[in-house]
Structure 1
Amino acid sequence: MARRMEWAARSEHLRGIPRKIVIATVGAFSKTVSSFLNTTTVHNSDTLLRLLRSRPPTVPLITVSNHMSTLDDPFLWGFKGFPIFDAKLARWVLAAEDICFRNDFYSYIFRVGKCIPITRGGGIYQEHMNEALERLNNGEWLHTFPEGKVYQDDTPIRRLKWGTASLIVRAPVTPIVLPIVHHGFQEVMPEKFMFGRRPLLPLCNKKIDIIIGDPIEFDLPKMKQMAISNSHNGPTFPTMGWPSTCDGLDEAAQRCLYTEISDQIRSALERLRCFGKQILKS
């Protein structure tokens, strides 16, 4: 598909100048909205900033968060102290193809801005998941919204899609996985503001809380062995034709493994959400 524009996502595209312009412009807009037009409080920001700047160069980072508005990314990174003008440190993010890549102009801007198109409902082995793996293989930072869609009501974290878990397993170097929960962006960009539509511009004078957790520890070798064992003893499901992983996990074992990893991520996000509610009450 022409609108996927892989060439625009390359760091050497026009010597990286368009990327620097887009990242800086979007970053400045995000900083204005999150830090000046609204009040943003960030808990444990040092952990994220340390991982961005000081993790080993070959170790990738995956951040995962809840999804409360269409502008969570980039507003999530507009808090004070975040390096908004550094295009090298900027995240890659999985972005819905039907929203962000609707025409050539959008496609170019989002591609230059380090977005990877994902077809919702296209499965974990769709074409551009390989691009996400390539970014992780290069030791880069990838952000995902594993709930898979925007939820503006403040309820427990929903069952997560398996895409993020599959990236963790399939990445050549196991990524650091950092959970983040936020609250308030649903008021900055409500889905139903006037006549059932979003506002044309972000709203002001709202309170935003961003709670950054600690990295989630995964004992992948042990989890893989348990997944193989459980897949042999558990119920069978219709297969979807997934290929085996490089270490020999068949589809049934992958399903067990991705479910367990997703459940651990969901639990970590839910703990942060509950912690955030306590903060809001205090």
Structure 2
Amino acid sequence: MGRTMEWAARSNHLGGVPRKLVIMAVGALAKAAANLLNTTSVHNAETLIRLVRSRPPGVPLITVSNHMSTVDDPFMWGFKGFPTADSKLARWVLAAEDICFKNAVLSYIFRLGKCIPITRGAGIYQEHMNEALDRLNDGAWLHTFPEGKVSQEDVPIRRLKWGTASLITRAHVTPIVLPIVHHGFEQVMPENYLFGRRPPLPLCNRNISIIVGEPIEFDLPKLRQMALSTTGDLSLSSAGWPSATPWGLDEAAQRCLYTTISETIRTAMERLRAFGKSYLKSKG
């Protein structure tokens, strides 16, 4: 499978003008939604802003968050002080192909908005994941929703999909990983509003909270060695998995490695979710 309309995602497409226009327009919408139409509070915003603006050269950033609604991205970046309108600083984001890329017009707009289509169920080694990896290898910022789908229930963070972990391990330079947990977007765009459907437009006068955690650093050489020693002679084989990575990891070791990384991220997100509950009470 090729990369859907990748040419429109390039920074030099038509001199970069269409991308700048889309990012500015979407950024203005996010600012209005977060600050004018709703009330947004952010904990530890300075850490996110610092990592977006001034990471070490060539070091990629992966932000991960829970997925409460279809408007989480871009609205979560609309809070005061965040450089929402800067197309160079704007995140790349993994977006569901069946929702955001239904036709050529939508595909073009979302591509200009630095969205990478992901086919659900196609696995962590699908071609568009390689595109996401290319962006990380460029030192870019990528946002993912590792739970894999929207969940509006107030429940613990679910088991994470392995796609994010695979990108972390395969990137040329180990990314900085920053967990984020938010609350309130499920009220801005509820899944079951009118006859079991979403409202035609986002709702207003809601309270949104965004809890930014601290960066997670992964010692990948150590984690790879642990994965190899844990799996030992266990050997697995299935379609779509490379038989061995550049570090000699067969499928069993890869699964072990991805599970360890995913659980580390999930645990950090769950801590933020618990902290967010007390944060909301203090704000209330």
Length-normalised TM-score, structure 1? 0.97
Listed one character per residue, the Cα deviations across residues 12-31 of structure 1 (whole Å, up to 9, x for unaligned) are 00000000000000000011
Q: Do 2:136 and 2:175's aligned partners in 1 also have CA atoms closer than 8 Å?
A: yes
User: Does residue 208 of structure 1 match 2:208?
Assistant: yes
For 2:183 and 2:83, locate their aligned partners in 1 and report how far apart those are by CA, in whole Å: 21
Q: Is the CA contact (8 Å cut-off) linking 1:3 and 1:101 kept in structure 2? A: no
Whether the 8 Å CA contact 2:184–2:206 is kept in 1: the answer is: yes
Question: In 2, Cα distance between the equivalents of 1:233 and 1:145?
Answer: 33
- AA aligned to 2:33 is V
Paired position in structure 2 for 1:67: 67
Percent identity of equivalent pairs: 73
Distance 1:13 1:241 in 2: 32
Structure 1 counterpart of 2:220, one-letter code:
L
User: Which residue of structure 1 lines up, in the alignment, with residue 241 of structure 2?
Assistant: 242
Could you tell me which residue of structure 2 aligns to residue 50 of structure 1? 50
Q: Name the structure 2 match of 1:155.
A: 155
Against the structure 1 CA distance between its residues 131 and 241, is the aligned structure 2 distance closer, same or farther, given a 3 Å change threshold?
A: closer
Change (3 A) 1:98 1:241: closer
* Residue 26 (structure 1) aligns with: 26
TM-score if structure 2 supplies the norm length?
Answer: 0.96
In structure 2, distance between residues paired with 1:241 and 1:33:
41
Aligned to 2:84: 84
Equivalences for residues 1-282 of structure 1 within 5 A? 4-232=4-232, 239-243=238-242, 244-282=244-282
Q: CA deviation at 1:231?
A: 1.2
3-state SS of 1:128 partner: helix
Moved more, 108-117 or 245-254: 245-254
SS at structure 2 position matched to 1:132? helix
Q: What is the rounded CA distance, in whole Å, between the counterparts of 2:222 and 2:237 in structure 1?
A: 26
User: Would you say how many aligned residue pairs link Structure 1 and Structure 2?
Assistant: 281
Q: Which amino acid counterpart does residue 40 of structure 2 have in structure 1? A: T
Q: Secondary structure at the match of 1:4?
A: coil
| C-alpha displacement of 1:230 | 1.1
Cα distance, 1:3 vs. partner? 8.7
In 2, Cα distance between equivalents of 1:57 and 1:142: 15
- 1:132 alignment partner AA: A
Distance 1:81 1:137 in 2: 27
CA RMSD, Structure 1 to Structure 2 (Å): 1.3
SS in 2 for 1:107: helix
Conserved in 1, the CA contact under 8 Å of 2:26 and 2:74? yes
Q: Can you give the 5+ residue segments of structure 1 that lack an aligned partner in the other structure?
A: none
Kindly state the Cα deviation for residue 281 of structure 1 after the two structures are TM-superposed: 2.2
Once the two structures are superposed, residues 85-118 of structure 1 have per-residue CA deviations (whole angstroms, 9 ceiling, x without a partner) of 1000000000000100000110000001000000
Distance apart, 1:63 and its partner CA? 0.2
Structure 1 letter corresponding to 2:126: Q
C-alpha contact 1:60 1:176 (8 A) present in aligned 2: yes
Task: Report the Cα distance in structure 1 between the residues aligned to 2:87 and 2:109, rounded to whole angstroms.
Answer: 14
